[in-house]
């Protein structure tokens, strides 16, 4: 059950900032929080890993950010104060950077968590320039960041898509686009499984290749020496350098920031229903 409540918000401690959130993206992890809760934390739980808004106050020792700055932030929802979908949030300053040039706050709210996930997955796959990467869910938001970031690493990229999405996926930088469900036409060195295919991705991966998975791995033992790499974005939420890199690439237009729909806080349940229905091209965003 989702509902709007009032909660006190503390002042920022040293090294933290308090944000007046204007936009917060809705992601699959929010559905998991709603369904399973947060271990060791009493409800109510506040979802959200992406926020964009204005710096409202800063703690001591924060010199990089100032009150009034328009910023985006990656937020950990499984903490006592909860996640990004609140009018005021306190977050480590390391998790906050200015919004990309030319981006609205709604657009900026789609970038931090998924951008960090894409960077982390590619780092863990550790492919060399010239090797081939397959990306499932090619038209989805995470894939739309993973594909151009992979191209910047000098990788050859295959991605799947529905026929009506082929041009979109090629615009992200994919070298080859295959029809969804048709299978990858060659063995690839690495596979970024943004569509949560699990074991069904194995036939596409060469012996000794690697598979990056985004929702953990509970699909049994690997095979043929394929390395399984669970991508845990919570471990890199304070990588300021990565957030700055994402901001720069979005400012250049290398990363496309896509908002599928906007909702008021009272419409959070509708936003999650839209996410659960699948086939979303971008993110639903809650606007405060």
**What is the structure's pLDDT at 15?**
98
With CA atoms as reference, report the closest residue to 71 among 30, 23, 115. Answer: 23
Low-confidence ranges of the chain (pLDDT < 70): none
pLDDT, position 69: 98
287 is written with which tokens? 């606007």
Tokens 């931090």 correspond to 112
End-to-end Cα distance, the chain: 20
Per-residue pLDDT at 267: 96
Place of tokens 């920022």: 12
Q: Assign residue 183 a region (left: φ > 0; alpha: ψ between -120 and 50; beta: otherwise).
A: left
Taken in order of first residue, the domains within the chain and their CATH numbers are 16-110+257-287 (3.90.180.10), 114-233 (3.40.50.720)
Q: What is the pTM of this model?
A: 0.96
């Amino acid at each position: 059950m989702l509902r709007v409540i009032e909660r006190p918000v503390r002042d920022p401690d040293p090294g933290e900032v308090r944000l007046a959130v204007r936009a917060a993206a809705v992601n699959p992890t929010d559905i998991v929080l709603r369904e399973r809760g947060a271990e060791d934390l009493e409800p109510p739980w506040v979802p959200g890993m992406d926020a964009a808004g204005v710096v409202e106050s800063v703690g001591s020792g924060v010199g990089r950010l100032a009150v009034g700055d328009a910023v985006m932030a990656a937020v950990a929802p499984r903490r006592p104060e909860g996640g990004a979908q609140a009018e005021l949030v306190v977050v480590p300053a390391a998790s906050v950077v200015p919004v990309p040039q030319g981006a609205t706050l709604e657009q900026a709210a789609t970038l931090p968590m998924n951008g960090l996930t894409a960077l982390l997955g590619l780092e863990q796959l550790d492919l060399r320039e010239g090797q081939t990467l397959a990306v499932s869910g090619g038209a989805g938001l995470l894939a739309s960041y993973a594909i151009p970031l992979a191209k910047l690493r000098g990788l050859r990229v295959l991605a799947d898509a529905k026929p009506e999405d082929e041009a979109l996926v090629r615009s992200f930088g994919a070298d080859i686009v295959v029809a969804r469900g048709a299978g990858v036409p060659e063995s690839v060195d690495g596979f970024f499984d943004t569509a949560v295919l699990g074991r069904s991705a194995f036939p596409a991966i060469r012996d000794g290749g690697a598979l990056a998975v985004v929702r953990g791995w509970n699909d049994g033992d690997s095979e043929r020496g394929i390395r399984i790499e669970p991508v845990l974005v919570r471990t890199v939420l304070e990588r300021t350098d990565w957030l700055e890199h994402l901001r720069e690439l979005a400012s250049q237009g290398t990363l496309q920031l896509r908002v599928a729909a906007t909702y008021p806080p009272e419409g959070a349940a509708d936003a999650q229903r839209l996410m659960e229905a699948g086939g979303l091209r971008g993110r639903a965003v809650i606007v405060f």
